[in-house]
Amino acid sequence: MPHPLGDRPSKIIAVHLNFPSRAKERGRIPGHPSYFLKPPSSLAGTGDPLTRPAGCELMTFEGEIALVIGRRAHRVSPEEAWEHVGWVTAANDAGVHDMKWADRGSNLRSKGADGYTPIGPRLLDARQVDPRGLRIRTWVNGEVVQEDTSDTLLFPFATLVADLSRMVTLEAGDVILTGTPAGASVARPGDTVEVEVTDGAQTTGRLSNTVVEGGPLADWGAMPRADDAARADAWGSLYVTKPTLDESLAEALRGLSTATLSSQMRKRGLQHMSIDGVHPAGGDDVKMVGTAHTLRYLPLREDLFERYGGGMNAQKRAIEELRPGQVLVMDARRDTSAGTLGDILALRAQKRGAAGVVTDGGLRDSATVGGMDLPVFHAGAHPAVLGRRHVPWDTGLPIACGGALVQPGDILVGDADGVVVIPPDIAESLVADSVEQETQERFITEHVAAGESVDGLYPLGPRWRDAYETWRRENHH
């Protein structure tokens, strides 16, 4: 389907960072907007393919609100700038980060390829919408991955138009891509990306494009290149929170107690790695291993709850952002006087493939949640909804949970004794030392059960070392 503009614009201008949620992911808040150009030949419409060249792995999507200039703008003020906007629509600022290295700064090859700026399917009359009342959503294969509202922008639409028009004349039909919210990431061949912009009464409809595998690039120019830095840039917040726990390592951790892991971390100088005050909802026969995805609650403020607590709030986004093997870790400030999770969201987390949930706040529907096939650790049962004490605020950032600092991507292990946090970079050596500790403790237990004194035996001392080594060989440990 052709794009809805008819004639090609003279230029497409894209904003680097504009949504605070995206700026937080990138770790910087710009003082002024910055821009790059996309060729008009990159325009496409709904239904057109997003072609990932052979040899590339990092095809990215970025749902955006697009402004279409309706009247020539040259050195206009912010107060009059919106009068020069003709229409609003949905856009996908797509690209292949494998080519970003070749044109760093301009993004020409990474974001300027044919078809990499789909817009539409419908244009909303700018005179009939509130520029601060727009909502953007992006779906990948039917799952919401981005959602935000235009009242949060660092640089409102009128500011962008006025700023650009100081030095660049905006012609009728020109397109401004106004920035993407948090959640922009990588799509693979076969994935369908949809973007929609609404004002509550009107909608652009869903802009829908499917990623397809293309042929190889001719070899007389820069070729695709992907390294860890490019992958982190392309995946965004999902790069640090996507499940990266090797299954053999996960299996080894399942065989170890939190008591042993805590002991070994203490030997490494890590004294504050337990999430204190939480216990399993389903009884003591539970084991949880996974990587952390984080959610932070702030204290209730009634004037902010409607904005931050309603609709697709951070609590619900955190659930929908979960990937298989992740543990949702909630910072509720150790306030158990309202629930931070109930049976419906717990069920959704289970359906998302979550490895577990940990909250230092309250749990609603505790009996039902305790019967689910999902490890849930909480600080206490409470019947009240979160709006009694908490405002769901943001996801995917370092938090405090039960007195422990938890970063996205940390490893969480839980059992009847509680939950410990393991830095991923020490996990393998920690497992090796923990296995050795538990092997020694089995030897010690056998001898204590046989009537031996713990003196020199626990912990294992030199007098018992030879006997231990013999026992270890005989028992094939």
Q: Give CA–CA dist 155/145, Å, rounded.
A: 23
Give the model's pLDDT for residue 1: 60
Go through 260-269 and write b for each residue having 16 or more CB atoms within 10 A of its CB, e for each that does not.
bbbebbeeee
Residues sharing a CB contact under 8 Å with residue 195, sequence separation 6 or more, in sequence order: 63, 64, 90, 91, 92, 136, 137, 138, 139, 206, 207
Give the model's pLDDT for residue 237: 59
Longest CA–CA span in the chain (Å) reads 93
Give the model's pLDDT for residue 425: 87
Indicate if the pLDDT at residue 143 is higher than 80: yes
Q: Which amino acid is at 394?
A: D
Give the model's pLDDT for residue 452: 86
**Annotated binding residue 463:** no
DSSP bridge pairs for 170: 73
**Annotated binding residue 473:** no
Query: 400 with 359: CB under 8 angstroms?
Result: no
Averaged pLDDT, 300-317: 86
Give the model's pLDDT for residue 461: 86
Give the model's pLDDT for residue 242: 46
Q: How far is CA 413 from CA 242, 269, 290, 302, in A?
A: 17, 19, 7, 36
Indicate if the pLDDT at residue 100 is higher than 60: yes
pLDDT tens for 234-250 read: 887 555 444 457 888 99
Indicate if the pLDDT at residue 460 is higher than 90: no
Under the banding of pLDDT at 50, 70 and 90, the label for residue 44 is very high
Give the model's pLDDT for residue 241: 46
Give the model's pLDDT for residue 198: 96
Show the tokens assigned to 113.
């390829």
Strands 390-395 and 35-38, by their bridges, are unpaired
**Annotated binding residue 108:** no
Q: How many CA atoms lie within 13 A of 76 on its CB side?
A: 24
Q: Using DSSP, how many helices (H) and how many strands (E) does the chain show?
A: 14, 29
How many Cβ atoms sit within 10 Å of the Cβ of residue 77?
A: 11
Averaged pLDDT, 439-455: 88
Indicate the domain borders of the chain.
Answer: 12-239, 244-422, 428-474
* Angle at the Cα of 181 from the Cα atoms of 3 and 147, rounded to 5 degrees: 85
Indicate if the pLDDT at residue 302 is higher than 70: yes
**Annotated binding residue 17:** no
Rounded to a whole number of angstroms, the distance between the first and last alpha carbons of the chain is 65
Sign of the torsion angle spanned by Cα atoms 366, 370, 374, 379:
positive
Q: Class of 12-239 per CATH? A: alpha beta
Query: 39 with 107: CB under 8 angstroms?
Result: no
Give the model's pLDDT for residue 335: 96
Give the model's pLDDT for residue 240: 47
> What share of the chain in percent tops pLDDT 70?
97
Averaged pLDDT, 430-443: 88
Q: Give CA–CA dist 356/377, Å, rounded.
A: 8
Average pLDDT, the chain: 91
Give the model's pLDDT for residue 244: 56
**Annotated binding residue 163:** no
pLDDT tens for 150-169 read: 999 999 999 999 999 999 99
For tokens 């992907």, the residue is 226
Question: What is the distance, to the nearest Å, from the Cα of residue 371 to the centroid of all Cα atoms in its chain?
Answer: 28
Averaged pLDDT, 66-93: 97
Q: Which one is the CATH code of 244-422: 3.20.20.140, 3.30.70.20, 3.50.30.40, 3.30.930.10?
A: 3.50.30.40
Under the banding of pLDDT at 50, 70 and 90, the label for residue 307 is confident
pLDDT tens for 346-379 read: 999 999 899 999 999 999 999 999 999 999 999 9
Under the banding of pLDDT at 50, 70 and 90, the label for residue 297 is very high
Give the model's pLDDT for residue 28: 81
Indicate if the pLDDT at residue 171 is higher than 60: yes
Rounded to the nearest 10 degrees, what angle do helices 427-449 and 258-267 cross at? 120
Q: Give CA–CA dist 79/47, Å, rounded.
A: 37
Averaged pLDDT, 69-96: 97
**Annotated binding residue 422:** no
Hey, is 60 helix, strand or coil?
strand
